[in-house]
Structure 1
């Protein structure tokens, strides 16, 4: 993956790996689908000037999806595996919602109760709990001066954009079938009321089909 497209400031920008090897490694090993083609223009054949238009697509498989497929395959020590990469672009789902989440008003606009934070970098425990409650959410976090912006998108079409300036309460825009910020608030409320998240210290049982069952006190969850 020598090049990819990144959504920034309302348009697609070209990212060329060899030009910034540190950013290249970070992008390649992050659990996030990278957009490799927008419209008819593939990042490998693009020039830095001029942003493309059209639907985003990807030939960069989400790392977590690969791990999930291997887990469901239940591969034993004696198994033989052939992993074929076709390189065919596909609709990346959450990545395609980033443009909408970055600018749209959404069907639901409200004032948030909790501050906007970078969940992936500064709240790993909360991020893990959210993955149990709503698997598959992808996150993006940006800062513009004193304003912090958090984006959350999901393959089912749900998205959220939360914006907070200084110490003011954030404005939250949400769209799609689920209200992802409400799910996050539920986890944060539990954290504040109980002093910890139930995921930690939970008893784990794994069924023969690979399903993971978690339980701690009255709380329980299943990872299929």
Structure 2
């Protein structure tokens, strides 16, 4: 809702602003603020690129940070400025720095916060690169993969970082160690955030790049063991898929007659398409260097036979260059 919407419906604006739900504020390069970017009735196309995050999720992430008075705190992903406002109000503006890649967002947030008497440091930088300062806590409201080495460089020894791994619901919490790395766990909790951007929009994804291929017959055609799944909505399965086939994108469609189709597409050109009705084994087409649906079915089989997947509450270590090593018993995985 832009500035004209706020003036015409102040109560609706107030209810929306304070509702416990996420609000998309930017799609592609187009901001939601009518006064500056969007025309009335305009329907933007593309991926959401910024949002006012679900307030309870913001608080959840801040709690994982184990924040205390006297700490220097970095808020990654300024967005609307909501999390920055909470931090500056509670710990003081002088203790808070917030970064975002979008100069419009950082400028608008600084103006809003200034009107409330809050003046934290707000910088326009690519958060995956060098950071402006040294910190006791880093809490990220965007997801990353891999973990930027610059975060460890900017974190003081004994400091704590909290972030979500891209294309997963895994919250990494870790304490920096004297060797420049970190040690911690994935939280027994879950969250989802937009990926960190490096510019005004996300580059084209694998699904869009290979859209002409993924509707064709596959090099290998067979019948799946499990019914078609909307993988992005099965958070535990989606997280494990990222660990086993990093970078895989998912798409899903359900037709009016209940027929379901799911796609898995990898940047290396591998793809899988499964189609079937609810509860029935699907027809599966696969092509490319790896068989993505086979990877997914092994994950689902582990889930069904063991009752869970090792994605939450997993011990981890992080090397100074940001490589995350996960380990539980004989199971191991690396995020690099």
**Shorter chain as normaliser: what TM range?**
0.5 to 0.7
**CA distance in 1: counterparts of 2:204 and 2:239, whole angstroms:** 26
Contact 1:199 1:216 in 2 (8 A): no
- Counterpart position of 1:43: none
Distance 1:25 1:99, change over 3 A: closer
Max Rg structure? 2
Distance 1:86 1:77, change over 3 A: same
Counterpart selection for 1:157 from 255, 266, 269: 269
- Counterpart position of 1:98: 211
Counterpart selection for 1:120 from 232, 239, 243: 232
- Counterpart position of 1:206: 318
RMSD of equivalent CA atoms:
3.4
Per mean C-alpha deviation after superposition, the further-off stretch among 92-101 and 67-76 is: 67-76
Structure 2, gaps ≥5 residues long = 1-27, 31-39, 52-127, 129-141, 157-196
**CA distance in 2: counterparts of 1:174 and 1:84, whole angstroms:** 32
Distance 1:210 1:70, change over 3 A: closer
Count residues in correspondence: 170
Cα displacement (A) at 1:165: 2.2
- Counterpart position of 2:148: 71
- Counterpart position of 2:163: none
Deviations 1:143-169 (A, max 9, x none): 112210001101000001100024331
TM-score (norm 1): 0.64
Distance 1:70 1:157, change over 3 A: same
Distance 1:140 1:174, change over 3 A: same
TM-score (norm 2): 0.44
- Counterpart position of 1:135: 246
1:178 matched to 2:256? The reply is: no
Structure 1, gaps ≥5 residues long = 4-16, 31-62
